[in-house]
Amino acid sequence: MTKPTAKTAVKTAVKAATSPSPPNWGIMPATAIAQLKQREWDNSARLKARLKGEMAFPITLALKPPKTGNDLLQHPNHCQDFVQAWRHFAALHPHYPELVHWQRSGFRHFAEQNLPSKLVIANAQALAEILGAAAQQQLRRWQRKIGFIHSHLCDAMTGVDESNSNSNRRQNSSVFATDWKTGLFNALIDKLATLDGLDDDELDLVVKVIPQLHYGMGQGLYLRALPVRYVDTKFIETYDSLLSALLAAFYPQQINNLGLSQWLGCLQKPSGWLMVRPLCAQAQANMGGLSLLRLATEVLQNQPLPAKRILVVENEQSCLALPYAGTMADTTADTIAVAGGGKNINWMSADWLQLKTVGYWGDIDSEGLSILSQARACCPNLSALMMDAQTLTQFKKRMVGEPDSKGLVPSHLSSAEWALFNDLRQAEPRQRRLEQERLPNEYIEQALQQWRMASDKSPNSPNSHK
């Protein structure tokens, strides 16, 4: 292979220097379509604003025609392709003759040119046509579904509005918004993604259920027990957000302030389920013979457990490993364990719990000690079990790391617990947690025995109150 001569190198450099750079004018149809799709169609917030009239049509996109004769001299082929491409594009959309705007421009050394200057999109239908078959089909689906719901609800809810207006018992909660038809249309636009996933049967359920829903109708009932016809209540729960948005068109202040379930007056679904396990035969008998059950925190807040001692355990597995007392002389006699709440300890402020002997056992780490502090804030008379420096020292080899050590100092720790908390924060990352599951059974049983004996001897120990 021969080396290039100096003369050849000079010619190559001159050619590179004199070759025109790619033109920065003349946007072609494919580029314009891609920009419109990204900026207008795929941008959900912008598209919804257009459909609701919050952002007005038309959409205008400058096509950047050439500005000078020099542009034409440097890129004559690009100019020809630019003009022909937009003529062809306009011919493909005869229903929108004002889609492509043209301007006549004169340039030095050239005859007057008729050049495409901007793309003007008059409405959503024109936008969808430009973007292609997929956008056209999607827009048709939206129009059909929105039209079906809007027309049916306008008919059905007009009767409800008249009934509310004529009722002598009318309350503010039943008064319709003045411009509810526009509000309904806008709500449907806001829920386009949800509507897209509904089939015809589900659309029918929407228009059947909305007129049945009214303020306070679920008083004393869970949402699943709501007295509606034709529609299953799982549908109401599944599409809570959609139904709330549609109802807010009629009752905006009430729905937006309360939410659907509260507006209906329904009871809140139980949450924060806790494991409850009697740790002796007597406590189990007092619980109807059940050896294990789950109770919602709302229930536990108001329902006393039938034992003198209540042991709150952070981890469910540790609760299942606790010993079971066969007689009243055993370690866990007259004791019920409550487990699995983690940070969910607000129920411990229950009045009935303040009358019990309460123990708390969790992991020894900054998180566990923070939960202990919160528990003590709710129940000041509780005793911490196996959450001390002695336990930590004895089983130090079983410690693991804590991903995120708590930075704020808990406010309801004893001085010894606070010192332990501070030591853990300053410890090596791999030496910041002793999980309660790592303690051996004999150590746990010994700690429970000491807790029982101390509570039996204490003159300030709460009475049983079974």
The dihedral built from the CA positions of residue 314, 320, 322 and 325, taken in this order, carries a sign that is: positive
CA distance readout (Å), 363 to 178, 321, 372, 417, 432: 58, 15, 10, 13, 10
pLDDT confidence tier of residue 464, bands split at 50, 70 and 90: very low
* pLDDT average, residue stretch 159-170: 56
**Per-residue pLDDT tens digits for 245-257:** 999 999 998 898 8
DSSP one-letter string for 419-442? HHHHHHHHS-GGGSBB-GGGS-HH
**Per-residue pLDDT tens digits for 4-25:** 454 554 444 444 344 567 788 9
**Per-residue pLDDT tens digits for 381-423:** 999 999 999 999 999 989 888 876 655 678 899 999 999 998 8
Backbone angles phi, psi at 339, to 5 degrees: -140, 165
**Per-residue pLDDT tens digits for 209-254:** 999 999 999 998 989 999 999 999 999 999 999 999 999 999 998 8
pLDDT cut 90: percent of the chain above it: 67
CA distance readout (Å), 361 to 89, 311, 387, 444: 74, 8, 7, 10
The structural domains of the chain, ordered by start, are 24-131 (no CATH), 133-166+174-264 (no CATH), 274-457 (3.40.1360)
Q: In this model, does residue 432 exceed pLDDT 90? A: no
- pTM (2 decimals)? 0.68
Position 106 scores a pLDDT of 78
- The span from the CA of 51 to the CA of 39, in Å, is 14
Tokens 């911490």 -> residue: 384
